[in-house]
Amino acid sequence: MIHQRYLPRAAADTAAPALSRRQFVTLSVGGAIGLAFMPFAAPDVQAQNAPAVPGGQKPTEQPGAFVSIARDGSTTILCNRMDMGQGIETALAMICAEELDADWAQVKTGFGNQMPNYIDPMMGMHLTGGSNSVKNSYTQYRELGARTRAMIVAAAAKQWGVAPELISTDKGVVKTTAGGGKFATYGDIFDAAMKEPIPEKVALKDPKQFRLIGQPTALKVARAKSSGAQGYGIDVKLPGQLTAVILRPPVFNAKLKSSDTTAARAVKGVRAVLPVKLDRGGEGIAVVADGYWPAKLGRDALKAEWDTAAVPRPDTDQLLADYRALAAKPGLPAPQDTLRADTAPLASAPRKLVAEFAFPYLNHAQMEPLACTVDLKPDACTLYFASQMPGVDAGAVAATTGLKPEQVNIVVQMAGGGFGRRAVPSSEYVREATHVAMALAAAGQRAPVKLVWSREDDMKAGYYRPLTVHRAEIGFDAQGQVLAWDHRIVSQSILKGSPFEPFMVVGGVDGTTTEGMREPYAIPMNLSVHHPQVDVPVLWWRSVGATHTAYVMETLIDEIAVATKQDPVAYRMKLMGNDTQDPKAARHRAALQLAVDKSGYGKKALPKGTAWGVAVHESFESVVAYVVEAKITGTGKNRKPVLVNVTAGVHCNLCVNPRTVEAQVQGAVVMALGTTMPEHRITLKDGVVQQGNFNRYPMPRITDAPTVAVHIVPSNDPPKGMGEPGLPPLAPAYANAIARLTGQRLRELPFKLA
């Protein structure tokens, strides 16, 4: 997802740092598409008696929108993002509860909506992505907790007639020893507290006082998830609700030529069969029924003929050939702040390495398929779904229905995975669900309707990680010093045609394509990019450009180390330079050294037929290093690589909840492992996606999962995110181990052993 880089700052509660160019771009994007869509006129969603707000205080700073305490002391803290398994509903609640001095056992969590209170305070828009949640809201949620606590203390002081300085708080109780001593629970005092003025400034705790932050903590929803009680967007059920599925064309953007709906209408439970508009100009047929199964049976009974002659029909074999040809030619130069262009002539280098890499289209394959429930009234619309961008989605619904922005409300749901699929700038599936609701109303059958995408729908008609080709021509000497590095990337632009294009496509180059190139190594590089236009919908996929740039960088660096007979870890450390040359590299070195130390690399004897593999990469401002152990089983055509052990060194600055960081790294390891497995790719033939479910798009099984040990570098610097950084370095570390076992450098994902 889109993210921004921040300059270091000394402490979490200091003033905001100066903006980097990329941060300014991101903030500008937020202002351009997020705030424009947000309904400012709607009332505060939490406070019935809104306290006095200091002049200039932002909606994101107002406790009444985030914290609610019932009479029994139960404390609800709302998350300003969508949780899709990354644990931010717990992490943000921990941060707020820390400063609030709440009783953690009584804390509950929930979600905000499309109101301006719940924008990302650093980006200026509603967005769950880019591993920004804890990073961008750490200080915000500390201050929300501290403001709420200060208001509780002020209300108690007024009731008891004592100075606020004589009052203390602890685990949801406010008390004083003055006047013979008094105490009350937060529940007793909260209503009065919410009538107190909101303090403009608050003092935050010294990190040495933390009792929650930094402690391994179970998710607040862990019991519900593990017992099956947790509800997700696909589980929403409103009174009188109908369910819809859509028959989509086999080729992207094709229109309907003719149809026979007779058999579909005859299916028991089918209420309506309606033509609907699809994302990007295509047409489909919606079948609306009493439940998913009759809707699916009705769709299966439809007969339709499509006009595919008027739209492109891409073929991945041909695309790959075209991409390879493009990669042999210079493209658009990448912006200078992403690389060092001070290369020597390649021809004069004593040793050369030429390598070409190919990465396939990938489906997001989130466990919970897409679903969106729309309750459309003549003068209002409420939607229930897992939205990564509720402000943008609310604006899209308003534009689609003709309603005013303040007439649209989004009830954000827990998501069973997302990985970027639920953050579509065009609000694709949300618009489609709204079109179904509008068509149903126009047919005289107005009712809440839930549009469900099946696994097959999303795999055949969704958005994908782009097909990408890299070509590197590297010159180096016998000591491994890189003298010249000419590099070309061929990939569709994710941002072209989106509202982000004017800000994040610089000189024609999509910044998400090149992120992760070169850093943290002190090497010269000339980088150029081709962005072919292809009629395949593409979108960010967990860790975005780093999914391919990390693989290319870390396997090539490893190859040079081996070619020059240097230890791969020592060689990486040398290329990173010292703190004076690149202070950021200190975090890379710390993460890598931790993984090395904990794994026993270079000291522990591995079983015969097992080899080490190493990789380190920074994405979204967090660094993850992997030291892995891998082996090869079988012989001949039955040879198969096996990932045995993974040791991770993580540098995410201050770790709010070590348990969720561990879970994110473990999940990222398994997801990245999937990208290496045979047939794990999306292919198209004559415009038709060939995969439809996990039988053609294999996923790792429990028997494929390695042992994963996660170690975190201690730090008191402001926290960074961990939703995505665990994925990029796993595949290259695994590939480097396989190269040691077989001598084969794997230039494609998924892996293909010779």
Q: Which of 8 and 83 is assigned the larger pLDDT?
A: 83
Who contacts 10 (Cβ-Cβ below 8 Å, separation ≥6)? none
pLDDT at 656 over 60: yes
The more confident residue out of 12 and 364 is 364
Spatial CA neighbour of 80 closest among 9, 35, 20, 128:
128
Q: Is CATH 3.40.50.150 the right assignment for the domain spanning 233-309+370-452?
A: no
Six-digit token string for 665 = 């790294």
- Reported as a single tens digit per residue, the pLDDT across 111-136 is 999 999 999 999 999 999 999 999 99
**C-alpha span between 93 and 80 (Å, rounded):** 10
Give the start-to-end residue ranges of the domains of the chain: 21-226, 233-309+370-452, 328-362+464-742
**What integer pLDDT is reported at residue 256 of this predicted model?**
96
Mean pLDDT over residues 84-100, rounded? 97
Average pLDDT for 724-753: 98
**For the domain 328-362+464-742, what is the CATH code?**
3.30.365.10
Round to whole Å and give the CA distance between 745 and 724. 26
Strand, coil or helix: 443:
coil
328-362+464-742 matches 21-226 in CATH topology: yes
Residues 18-27 pLDDT 10s: 333 333 333 3
d(CA 189, CA 155): 7
Question: Three-state DSSP class for 604?
Answer: coil
Residue 37: per-residue pLDDT = 32
State the pLDDT at residue 498: 86
Count CA atoms within 13 Å of residue 661 on its CB side.
29
| pLDDT given at position 1 | 53
Residues of the chain with pLDDT > 70, as a percent, come to 91
Mean pLDDT value of segment 402-428: 97
pLDDT confidence band for 499 (50 / 70 / 90): confident
pLDDT at 34 over 70: no
For helices 730-742 and 658-676, give the axis angle rounded to 10 degrees: 50
- pLDDT score for 341: 53
- pLDDT band per the 50, 70, 90 thresholds, residue 577: confident
**Residue scoring higher pLDDT (42 or 749):** 749
For the domain covering 21-226, report its CATH number. 3.30.365.10
319, pLDDT greater than 90: yes
pTM of the model: 0.92
pLDDT at residue 468 greater than cutoff 90 = yes
Tell me which of 40-54, 204-218, 407-421, 433-447 is least confident: 40-54
On average, the pLDDT of the chain sits at: 91
Q: Rounded CA gap, 31 and 587, in Å? A: 32
